[in-house]
Structure 1
Amino acid sequence: MIAFSGYAQEKINRLDSISPISFLSTTYTGDTTAVPLVLENPLFYNYNFTYKKRLDSIQREIPLSYNEAVQRYIDVYAGRKEMMGKMLGLSEYYFPIFENALKAFNVPQELKYLPIIESSMNSHAISRVGATGLWQFMFSTARGYGLNMDNFVDERKDPIQASYAAAKYFKDAYAELGDWLLAIAAYNCGTGNVNRAIAKANSRDFWAIRPFLPLETRNYVPAFIAAIYVMNCPDKHQIKSQKSLFAIKTDTVQVSRFVSLTELAQAMSMEEEDLCTLNPSYKKKIVNGSTELPKRIIMPRVSLASFASIYEVLNDHTVDMSMQVVQASNDDRRLHKKHRESAEEKPAVSWHKVSAGQNLSTIADEYHVEVQDIKVWNKLKGNNLVPGQKLIVSKNSGISKRAETRSGKKYISYREKTGTTRSSGRL
């Protein structure tokens, strides 16, 4: 059975049950790749009273300070006219979703501008370290705030689910830090770094503790203020809104069975890619709804003429695939890199127990290594062996060298080190 409705407030019962912010990592994990780096200049030559006045006029709950750092980011974003035009177009679709979530947790509406600097409002954005989605959640933090990642879905990419999780995070961060700029800084680098900066500066003012924060976080808050300014004053900088795919009226459908987005797009006579763009969290283009846990599909409003074929896909078609749900593993690329480095630092060792009649030459031939290698690995000064003695006969460390005799010639082969992978945030 299906039910058509407009965007309704997402249920937040499971988010309310999450433990407070104290479980968050205290190490710096920020990675907001959308924030450009700017050079610091202690002298402020281009103070603009007009910009200051405009910021004052749009300020609500969050202080919108005006200073040299903010001015530099205003210059950056005001100069990116095409990008900010796209943000204006996307905001017509996303901002109502963000506002509903922020309102549900009674946190400032201005926070809706953060996904601009987090992800350029791209649900599929993935940072170097694995932060994912509009709000750039890291895996462990997303799990802590009730988001699900399995073989079918990554709710970090779900605009509604992720927005409620982000709103809950900000509520917790503000409860701990008591200041909105500090809470925003914590979203980038974690509460631990913010608290340490507070202790070093002996102040709870963001601009006072800013020099003690990670470089990215120092830029993060000024960039946020600048994004608010440009989004509210586009006409002052010749920035025009660009129409986006999302400039359509949509319906929300709750399904309690498996539904193919490919088949649904065909029934609606629309591009499959466009329907998947409206539903970015489904990994396999399959909506894995169930009676216990119905799933949401966002779709363009349908006409009565196409309702029958759409109804058939949603209620009668069978998806031929396994319905087993497998929870995803942590995709934090920093952890994977650490594990690889740890494995390289602690190479695997192979042992051999000496039998009667064996010598170093026969053992070296058996394991395709050099006699000298065995002597070095076992710190042997001579060639004498004792039956029952244990010898290290292989060390697979990083790049290992092995000499092999082929057609009377010696060849050197190398085992390459494991390559690194490419690497939001989020926390």
Structure 2
Amino acid sequence: MPIPHADGPRLQRRLGVFDAVLIGLGAMIGAGIFTAPRPAAGAAGSGLLIGLAVAAVVAYCNATSSARLAACYPTSGGTYVYGRERLGEFWGYLAGWGFVVGKTASCAAMALTVGSYVWPQRPQVVAVAAVLILTAISFRGVQKSALLNRVIVTVVLMVLAGVVIAAITSPAADADRLRIGADTSIYGILQSAGLLFFAFAGYARIATLGEEVRDPARTIPRAVPLALAITLLVYTAVTIAVLAVLGASGLSSAVAPLADTMQAAGFPAGVPVVRIAAVVAALGALLALLLGVSRTAFAMARDRHLPPALAVIHSRFDVPHRAIIIVGLVVAALAATVDLRGAIGFSSFGVLAYYAIANIAASTLTPAEGRPARIVPVLGTLGCLILGVALPAESIVTGVFALALGAAAYGIRRALGARR
């Protein structure tokens, strides 16, 4: 029997399969493809493609579990709701907490990516401005956000196709650079998969917007695997193209990998186009992330795990405007202070914890509820745990501290409530 939760305002269902897929693509084929391959290549060396495959398998399991759960629980909050309903209030809370803190770091990373491409000398200034502008756009409603997302995804896909074509047809491309050499290890491959997972995790935006999707039992299970499949094809093509031109060592030391690929491939005129696309992609990913984090914060506030004042829907724009504003301000503050690489690692740890809970919750579904094959949630859970402990040490330490802080806050809240 579902665990009761607080009643509250509900969001309108406006999004179909097409928009849901594009929101997922906007989050996954966002700045991740422009930023994550560099640290991942530094970890895996010539084994980068194997790391990409591992990340894709874990992402597939997570996506399948999430889609089945979202069809059963079509409401805002994603795994925060699934964990609560299937495993208990604490696990739902911990999933929601991991998502909010991890994806808030992702928002900061996307904003800093914009800043580094627009104004390298003062990236924080641009990052903060980008957050505030997109927060204002999110405030105007999910349909306007989805419309902007369509434009962004279209532009980025066109530019990425140009990069792939330019790279594979260039005399600088060498298939020998794709071979696995002695510069890789199992640990390095797993660490690269954990870092690349940062770029795959955007399909959660579809689930966290479940309350705004039309016919969620049909739409979400279709949109999630479709968005993930398209993303995997794009990432594989781009990674092969970049490796063929730069090699693993060149990729790991590149300041702007895709722009450097165009330069090395003999297409310098394409460099500014790629830089502009990186900014556009980062803005698209940031927009999708702000939507997802604000909806999870809204759901947690509705259940009084965050201040109930955040569980309010604007009478005109039909959005959780207080949650949007608070999330935007927190992200702006982080963007002014954090480091890009650290933000990626911390985000990966928080989101892997979130999906571990999602897979465990999916394993409790019955066949009548659409339970996936048992191997899917088992492999997904193990994959999340393994990739989490393979991340850089500083990411693990800060991630464990953040989860412990959230668990402590939950315990204090319960203890105070018991005394009343």
Q: Please state which band the TM-score falls in when normalised by the shorter chain.
A: under 0.3
Give the structure with the higher percent helix: 2
TM-score (norm 2): 0.21
Higher relative contact order (CA 8 A, sep 6+): 2
TM-score (norm 1): 0.20
